[in-house]
Amino acid sequence: MDSRPIGIFDSGAGGLTVLHECLVTLPHEDFVYLGDGERCPYGPREAEEIRRFALELASYLERSGVKLVVAACNTAAAAALPYLQERLEVPVVAVLAPEAHAAVQATRNRRVGVLATEATIESGRYADVIHTLDAGVEVVSVACPKLVPLIEAGGPNDELLAAVREYAEPLRDAQVDTVVLGCTHYPLVRPVFERVFGRGTTLVFSADETAREVAETLHRKGVGNDSARHGETTFLTTGSPAEFAALGERFLQLPVAGARRVALDELAFEAA
């Protein structure tokens, strides 16, 4: 038995969708969630800067005493996962690989679409991981810069629906039968994606697959907590705790209380 918490980091509040699925899957585990609200969003940033941010967040969590780190930001995972796994001593699980694996298993015609932020698409990581699993799968990737701001603004609405239809069009043209929704914001408007793509297309969401990967990793490493207990969650943010709590309650669908602010210079010190 290992009573240490699990650390989860994200560029802001989007990773709370991953936390939600982890809480459902592992209600007996403790979690520490760290959102980088001060520097959100990561999507438009350069890969080197994203890697530095990811290392700062992950290192802070490791030194706080977590037993496993979850990179719940698709953009950070695409830019920094191997780098984090080299630098940290605790295991690192990221949203990207579980989604890619699920997509390869789900596709029937070996045509997979990916919708994600600009930085995630530019990294090419989804295509790389998918092709490692099945080199014959055709991957069609589309950057979706409009979606995160629209979702955070309070979607779904007509503008959001129009944007999803716009980004879905090249995937329809390519006749993909499976779509990876490569951003932790996207589960918040799941019905919109389901409406646009219909029942004939399999949608792969990061939160669902990542929670399964976390559970499997804990079991494999033998570091699970006592299954009879009730877990607790600590919330940290580099931005405004009040703003994080307001946005976080939408993402988590549970009260977000007692969030504490972590100054950026604390993160820089931890990664030094």
Both tokens assigned to 225: 């907590």
Q: What pLDDT does residue 200 have?
A: 94
pLDDT per residue as tens digits for the range 132-177 = 999 999 999 999 999 988 988 876 689 999 999 999 999 999 999 9
Neighbours of 6 (CB within 10 A): 28
Query: Does position 22 have pLDDT exceeding 80, yes or no?
Result: yes
Neighbours of 194 (CB within 10 A): 12
Half-sphere exposure of 157 (CA within 13 A, CB side): 10
pLDDT per residue as tens digits for the range 42-74 = 888 999 999 999 999 999 999 999 999 999 999
Residue 44 class from Cβ within 10 Å (0-12 exposed, 13-18 middle, 19+ buried)? exposed
The amino acid that residue 126 corresponds to is Y
E strands present in the chain: 6-10, 31-35, 68-71, 92-94, 111-116, 138-143, 178-182, 202-205, 233-237, 260-261
Neighbours of 98 (CB within 10 A): 22
Q: Are the CB atoms for 55 and 84 separated by under 8 Å?
A: yes
Establish whether domains 6-94+208-271 and 97-205 are of one fold. yes
The architecture that CATH gives domain 6-94+208-271 is: 3-Layer(aba) Sandwich (3.40)
Neighbours of 226 (CB within 10 A): 11
Query: Does position 35 have pLDDT exceeding 80, yes or no?
Result: yes
Domain boundaries of the chain, sorted by first residue: 6-94+208-271, 97-205
Task: Catalytic residue, from 22, 40, 144, 183: name it.
Answer: 183
In angstroms, how far is the first alpha carbon of the chain from the final one? Answer: 31
Angle at 137 between CA 132 and CA 140, to 5 degrees: 105
Q: What pLDDT does residue 155 have?
A: 63
CATH fold of 97-205 reads Rossmann fold (3.40.50)
What average pLDDT is seen over the chain? 93
Closest residue by Cα to residue 138 from 162, 107, 184, 182: 107
- 34 phi, psi to nearest 5 deg: -125, 115
Q: What pLDDT does residue 152 have?
A: 82
Where do we find the tokens 């004939």?
A: 200
Neighbours of 211 (CB within 10 A): 23
The amino acid that residue 5 corresponds to is P
Whether 40 is catalytic is: no
